[in-house]
Structure 1
Amino acid sequence: MTGLWAISTAGFLATAMTYGPARMGFGLFLGEFRSDFSLSTGMAGLISTLGFSGFLVGLLVAYALLARRGPRWPVTLGLGAATAGFALVALAPNAVVLAAGVLLAMASAGFSWAPFNDAAHRVIADQDRPRALSLVSTGTSVGVAAAGLTALALHMLGLSWRLGWAGFALAGALATLVNAFDLGGEAARPGPRPDRRLAELVHRAAWPIYGVAASYGTVSAIWISFAADRVQQAGGLPGLAPAAAPGVVFLAYGIFGLSGALTGWLHERLGLPRLLYALQATAALSVGLVALAPAMWSAVLLSAGLQGAHVMMTSAALSFWTERLYPDAPSRGFTAALLAVAAGSAFGPAAAGYLSQAAGGGAMFLTTAALPAITLLLLIRATIRERPVAD
C-alpha cells in the first residue's frame, strides 16, 4: 500500500472510531443513560466534561509520545483506550463505571489525530497532502453516521444499548490492528522534541487560530452532548418514538459531515478568511435551530447537517491552517490548536448542563449560539495569516 493510501486508511479508521462513537457516543445514548443510571442534566454535563478533559490530557501525552516514539505509539494507545472504554461502558453496572468508560473512550480522540499530520508530512507529496488530511478528517463523519445508525437499529429491533457498545469495542480493536500495521517505516519516525521553538506557538499570527479553536470546541461539545437529548426531551420528532430521535440526529450529522471532504476545494476557491466566516455563521444557525424548534423535522435535520458540516470543515481547516503556519513541525501547531479546542470542550458541557437545569434547554442553546456569532465578528476584525510564523 502506498504512503498516501496507507496513511489515509489508517487515519480514516482512527478518526472514525475515536471522533465517532468514542467522542459522540455519550450524547447519542444519553437518554438511555439517564434512565438506567438516574442521571440529571447537571451530572450528564459533568460526565461529558470529564470525557472532554480526558481528550485534553490525551493531546499532551500524545505529543510527548510522538516526539519520542513516532506516530504509531500514540495512535495505537488511543485506539486501545477507545476499545477499553467501549467495553467498560457496555458492562457498566453504575454511573461511576460509566463515567470511567466515557473518560477512556473520549480521551482516545486526543491521541489519534495530530500524529497523522506528522506522518503525512513525511511520506506524502505536498500536492497530495490536503487530500490525505481531508480523508483522515472525513473518517469522523462515517464513524458518527455508523454510530447513529447503530443506535437507530438497536431501538427498532428492541435491543439493548449495551450490544451497540460491545460492537464499538470490536470495531475499535480492528482499527487498532490496522493502525499498528500501517503506521510503520518512515511514517513511524519520531517527531521534533516538544521543547524546541515553542515561542512560535504564541506568535501573534497564531492568535486567531486559538480563538476559533476554543469557540469551536465549546460549541461542538455542547451540541454533541445535549442536542439529541434536547430533541428527545421535547417529545422527539413527529411520527417517530422519542427514543429513536438521537439515532436520526447523529445519522444526519454524520452524513452531512461528509462535506468535510470538500474543505480543501472550498479553501482554494473562497480563501481561508471567507471559509472561516461561513463556518462560524453555520455553527450559530445550527445551535439556534435546535434551541427554537427541537420537535420539527426540517429544523432538527438542518441543525444536525449544519453542525456536522461545521465540525468536519472546521477541523480540516485548522489542520490546513496549522500545517502551513508551522511547515517544519505541523503536529506541534495542530496540537496547540487542538489544546484550545479541548479547553473549550472541557468547559462547555458542565456549564451548559447547569445552565440548562437552571434556565431550560432553549435558553442554554441560545446562549451557546451567541458564541460563534461573536467569534465571527472578531474574525472579521482580525488578520488571518497562512504564511509560516517565522516570516
Structure 2
Amino acid sequence: MDPSSHTEKRGDTGARIARRPHGTTARALGTDALLAVVALALIGVCYGLARFAFGLFLPTFRETFDLTSRTAGLIASSSYLAYCAGIIGAVALSPRFGSRTVALAAGVLATSGIALVATAISPAMLLGGVAIAGASTGVASPPLAQAIARCVAPARRDRVQSIANAGTGAGVMLSGPVALLGQNHWRLSWGLFALAAFAVCVAVAVVVPQVRIVPAGARRGGPRAGRGRDGAERGEHGSRTRVAGGPGRADALTASTLALARLMGAAAVMGAASAMVWTFGQDRIAGADGAGPQVGVTAWIVLGACGLGGAAAGDLVRRLGTRAAWALLMGLVALSTVVLGIAPDSPPAAITSCAAFGAAYVALTGLVLVGATRIRPERTAVVVGGGFLAIALGQTLATPLWGAVADRAGAEAAFLGAGVLALAGAVLAPVGRRARAHSRSGSEAAGG
C-alpha cells in the first residue's frame, strides 16, 4: 500500500478501510455531484441498456430468432441468474480489490455483453450476450454503494445513493428512443449501446474512488488503538468503546441479521412481481393484442423518465415512513401490472401504467438500497449485495414461471398473477422499527 494512503478503522469487525489516491484529475473532479452522475451513468448502462433493453427489443428478437414466450423467459432468466453470480462476486471482491476496480469490471461486462447481443446470429449467442450483460448489473451496485458510503458526507449520502440507483430509469429512457428509431436495425442500436457503455467505463476509471476494506492486522504492524477521522476513541480492533446502556455486540449482530433477512424477503417478492413487466411488458403493449410498437416504445420511454423520480426514495421514506412508502409503491406496481394485463390496447392506460411502474420500481429498489446501507454501515457492499441478490433471485425464479403461465393460460393471466403477488408483497417492508433503531446505533458504532 502506498504510504500516503489514508487508513481508518471502522465498525465492530475490526476492518480497516484504505483509500488510495487516484490522481490529480480524479481528486479535482471527485465531488459528490460528479460521483453521483457517474454512478447514475454506470447503473443506467448496466440496468437500462445491458439488462432491461432486452424486453424493449423482445418483439424484434422474437421475429429474428423465432422465440416462444417460454424461450424468451428462459433467456431473460439467464440475465437474472448471471446477475446473482455478479452480486456474489462483487460482494467478495469489492472490499479487497476496491470500488473503482470492481465498478470498472461491471462496465466491461456490460460493454462485452451488449456487443455480443449486437453480433448474435443464433438464440444461443443471444442468450450468452444477455447473460454477460446481466452479470454487469450485479457487479455494479455493491462497489458504488461502498464508495458512496465511505466518500460522501453523511448529510448527502442517502440522496446520492438514491440518485445513483435512479440510473435504471435513465438507461431505459435512453434506450427507448433508440428502439423507436432503430427497431428494424437492432444490431446498429445495440452497437450504439456498446459505445455508450465503453464511454461510461472511461468515466468510472477517472471518477470512482478506490475504496478498499482489508482485514485488521493485514497491514504491517497490525491494528493499533487510536482515533478515526471522526476523532472517536477506538479499541484494539477499531471499534468504539461501547456506550453504557447501548446494545451488546451479540444483540446488535442478531438484530442486523434479522433486519437483513426481512429486507431480502421483501426484495425477493418485489423482484418476482416486477419481472413480468420488465420482460413481457413491451411485448404485451406492442404485440397483436396491444396498442402497437410505437405506443409500446413511447410507454417504455415514459417508464424510464418516471423512473428518474425514484431518486426521491429517501425523501419519501422521511415523509411517510418505510412501511407506508413500501406499501404505497408495491400497490402501484400491482395496479400498473394488472392494467397492462387487461388493457394493453389502450394507449393512455399503457403509458400511464408504465409511468407508475417505472417510478414505483426504481423507488422500491432505492428503499432496498438505503435500508441495506443502514443495517450494517461498516459492511455496505455485503448488505447491499444481499438486498439486490434477493431481487435478482425473485426475478430469476419468476421469469420462466410467468413465461410458462403466458404460454398455457395467456398473457393476461400471467400479468394478473404478477399483480396479485405485488399486492401481497405490499404488507412487507424492507426495514422495520428495530432495524432503523439498530441502524442508528450501527452508524454511531461505525463512526458515520
Unaligned runs of 5+ in 2: 1-28, 216-249, 443-448
Matching of residue 232 in structure 1 with residue 286 in structure 2: yes
C-alpha separation in 2, matches of 1:351 and 1:127: 42
Instruction: Name the Cα RMSD after superposition.
Output: 2.2
Do 1:148 and 1:246's aligned partners in 2 also have CA atoms closer than 8 Å? no
Task: Give the equivalent residue in structure 1 for 2:383.
Answer: 333
Task: Give the equivalent residue in structure 1 for 2:266.
Answer: 212
C-alpha separation in 2, matches of 1:250 and 1:150: 11
Task: Give the equivalent residue in structure 1 for 2:162.
Answer: 134
Residue pairs, 1:61-80, within 5 angstroms: 61-80=89-108
Task: Give the equivalent residue in structure 1 for 2:369.
Answer: 319
Superposed CA deviations along residues 163-218 of structure 1, whole A, max 9, x for unmatched, are 110000000000011101112xxx3122366xxx9966972233331122001211
Residue pairs, 1:266-281, within 5 angstroms: 266-281=316-331
Task: Give the equivalent residue in structure 1 for 2:176.
Answer: 148
Residue in structure 2 matching 1:191, options 213, 219, 226: 213
Amino acid paired to 1:99: L
Once the 2 structures are TM-superposed, how far is the Cα of residue 325 of structure 1 from its aligned partner? Answer: 1.5
- Please identify the structure whose Cα radius of gyration is greater: 2
Once the 2 structures are TM-superposed, how far is the Cα of residue 109 of structure 1 from its aligned partner? Answer: 0.3
C-alpha separation in 2, matches of 1:378 and 1:146: 32
Once the 2 structures are TM-superposed, how far is the Cα of residue 384 of structure 1 from its aligned partner? Answer: 6.4
Superposed CA deviations along residues 290-340 of structure 1, whole A, max 9, x for unmatched, are 111011112111210111011110111111111112122222111111111
Q: 1:75 to 1:2 in 2, by over 3 A?
A: closer
Superposed CA deviations along residues 210-267 of structure 1, whole A, max 9, x for unmatched, are 1220012112222110011111224432xxxx33343212101101112112222211
Amino acid paired to 2:278: I
Residue pairs, 1:46-65, within 5 angstroms: 46-65=74-93
Q: 1:370 to 1:91 in 2, by over 3 A?
A: same
| Higher-helix-fraction structure | 1
Residue pairs, 1:237-276, within 5 angstroms: 237=291, 242-276=292-326
C-alpha separation in 2, matches of 1:150 and 1:62: 30
Amino acid paired to 2:157: R
3-state SS of 1:294 partner: coil
Do 2:287 and 2:293's aligned partners in 1 also have CA atoms closer than 8 Å? no
3-state SS of 1:191 partner: strand
Task: Give the equivalent residue in structure 1 for 2:41.
Answer: 13
- TM-score normalised over the length of structure 2: 0.80
Seq. identity, % = 29
Matching of residue 88 in structure 1 with residue 116 in structure 2: yes
C-alpha separation in 1, matches of 2:186 and 2:402: 25
Do 1:59 and 1:111's aligned partners in 2 also have CA atoms closer than 8 Å? yes
Amino acid paired to 1:34: R
Residue in structure 2 matching 1:179, options 190, 204, 208: 204
Amino acid paired to 1:176: C
Once the 2 structures are TM-superposed, how far is the Cα of residue 360 of structure 1 from its aligned partner? Answer: 0.2
Superposed CA deviations along residues 123-151 of structure 1, whole A, max 9, x for unmatched, are 11100112211220122211100101110
| Higher-strand-fraction structure | 2
Query: What count of residue pairs does the alignment treat as equivalent?
Result: 379
C-alpha separation in 2, matches of 1:316 and 1:371: 20
Amino acid paired to 1:181: V
Do 1:228 and 1:245's aligned partners in 2 also have CA atoms closer than 8 Å? no
3-state SS of 1:236 partner: coil
C-alpha separation in 2, matches of 1:76 and 1:104: 15
Superposed CA deviations along residues 103-122 of structure 1, whole A, max 9, x for unmatched, are 11111100111211110121
Matching of residue 34 in structure 1 with residue 59 in structure 2: no
Do 2:255 and 2:434's aligned partners in 1 also have CA atoms closer than 8 Å? no
Which deviates more, 164-173 or 265-274? 265-274
Amino acid paired to 1:41: S
Do 2:74 and 2:400's aligned partners in 1 also have CA atoms closer than 8 Å? yes
Task: Give the equivalent residue in structure 1 for 2:423.
Answer: 373
Amino acid paired to 2:39: G
Q: 1:374 to 1:163 in 2, by over 3 A?
A: same
C-alpha separation in 1, matches of 2:435 and 2:315: 19
C-alpha separation in 1, matches of 2:322 and 2:143: 23
3-state SS of 2:436 partner: coil
3-state SS of 2:212 partner: coil
C-alpha separation in 2, matches of 1:295 and 1:81: 37
